[in-house]
Amino acid sequence: MPDVSITPSDRACARLCISAVSGGGGKTLLSLGLAGALRAAGREVVPFKKGPDYIDAAWLSLAAGRPARNLDPYFLPPEELRRNFLLGVARVRRELAPEKPVLALVEGNRGLYDGLDTQGSCSTAGLARTLACPVVVSLDCTKMTRTAAALLSGLTAFEPETPIAGVVLNQTASSRHESILRRAVEEYTDLTVFGAVPRQADNPLPERHMGLASLAGDTLTPETDRTLQRLTTLIRDHVDLRRLLETASAAPALPQPPDRTPRAAAQDDGPRPRIGYVRDAALWFYYEENLEALEQAGAELTRLSLLDAADWPSIDGLYLGGGFPEDRAEQLSASPHVRRRLPELVAAGLPVYAECGGFMILTQGLRKDGRRWPLAGLLPVDVEFHARPQGLGYVDGLLCRDTPYFPAGTRVRGHEFHYSRCAQPPEPLPAPSELSMRLERGVGMGPLYPRQDGFCSGALWASYCHIFAPAVPGWAPAFVAAARAFARRRV
């Protein structure tokens, strides 16, 4: 999958960024409803989520009808953020008739100016400035009238270069409440009121740890379909789509990103190795960019499942992403793929790269609610599930030895979101004195292995850290090279 060329039309694409004053301010509800309403009106939506995020991004993908891409200023500098954004737009536009209208929809995270520090580094506001993307604020107006104008005035004055275009008033209690809010915003600010969403009797987006309620993997179920249809109707009936589209279409053209040397040269070096990736109801956390990077580096990808009995095809590498294996512990413990096939493949030297949930499946067993479920038994630890996060946020690690995927000295930026942690198995096994990656930021395998991550044995890598391939450009070529070498040995 070579990179597509970016045209002037791509750089001038219509775009919007949805933000809020804080987390829980209604931006996900507005983003999902807008994606559905715009699709229903005939507009092709190209979705993006300010990361790191998998769950909200999966919902956004379902609402928009195509995979959401990740935009994270922690991982990429501004010119590479613009490049990833424009590549996402360009790929969609090449699939469509030239006259088909497209809108790029970016869902922010947390509050508009919230970042990693008091300077707001990596904030949604900074991303919007990088993309010259008009910002629509979803404002929770619960028990508020004129103060809404004060809050919005503060947002616009705080960093005046942030392109805030207007507001959607959220959680309005009555038509009178909406009328007062509208008059206050229009009198005291220059912002457009794009709509007002009435308070709902129930929360249409129930939450669980790490985001919205889990899907059946990342697939559309009758329940999620009903939720998305409800949000589509809600936003269609209460938001002025025409004015939003006018604002989105007025966004200025972005600069042409610099050329980048393609990473696909390796695919000319012999047959394309086949890398399987498990995507089912247990493991489904994958950045679209990571899969693209493997294809660009020369791999043929094939989707697999640990939860059904179907035989796997012959593969030359295996990618185990994150997910919620704790929700499928009984099925996974009974799976012949987990208990027999994975150990056979690792013993044969198959390159296996596992992140978070994938790492958990490779351990001796998973403990939850007083029970223990035996798993693949390939790593010298159990994992124990907890009610509170054990690792949450960004990771900054340094490789302390060579591995098939990262040479010694590589700096890896990633993130971790896990409610489990390592524990000694019932029968302790020999364990390495040092793992492959030392962490300057993050929890990793602690407390058994404080500030360390990355079990690596032979061609097997397993870590709590999720990576974003564009930020670690050597990962995909190295993985594909290991898979190609395995394929040659197998022949």
Q: Which residues are catalytic?
A: 356
Residue 472 is encoded by which pair of tokens?
A: 């670690």
Query: Helices (DSSP H) in 323-392: which residue ranges?
Result: 329-334, 336, 342-347, 357-361
CA-based radius of gyration for the chain: 23
192-198 and 164-172: which strand pairing? parallel
Between CA 225 and CA 20 the distance in angstroms is 25
Going through 129-209 in order, the beta strands assigned E by DSSP cover 135-140, 164-172, 192-198, 207-208
Of 323, 329, 335, 416, nearest to 367 by C-alpha is 329
Which run of H or of E encompasses 394? strand 391-399
Exposed/middle/buried for 296, CB within 10 Å: 0-12, 13-18, 19+? buried
Buried b or exposed e, range 56-82, using 16+ CB within 10 angstroms: bbbbbbbbbebbbbbbbbbbbeeebbb
Token match 């613009």: residue?
82
C-beta of residue 141 within 8 angstroms of C-beta of residue 181: yes
DSSP letters along 240-267, please? Answer: -HHHHHHHHHTPPPPPPPPP---S-GGG
Query: DSSP string covering 307-355, please?
Result: SS-PPPPP-SEEEE-EE-GGGGHHHHHH-HIIIIIHHHHHHTT--EEEE
The pair of structure tokens assigned to 186 is 């229009």
User: Which of 290, 249, 256, 245 has its CA nearest to residue 86?
Assistant: 256
Closest CA to 39 of 96, 119, 1: 96
Within a 10 A sphere around the Cβ of 357, how many other Cβ atoms? 27
Return the amino acid letter for 217: G
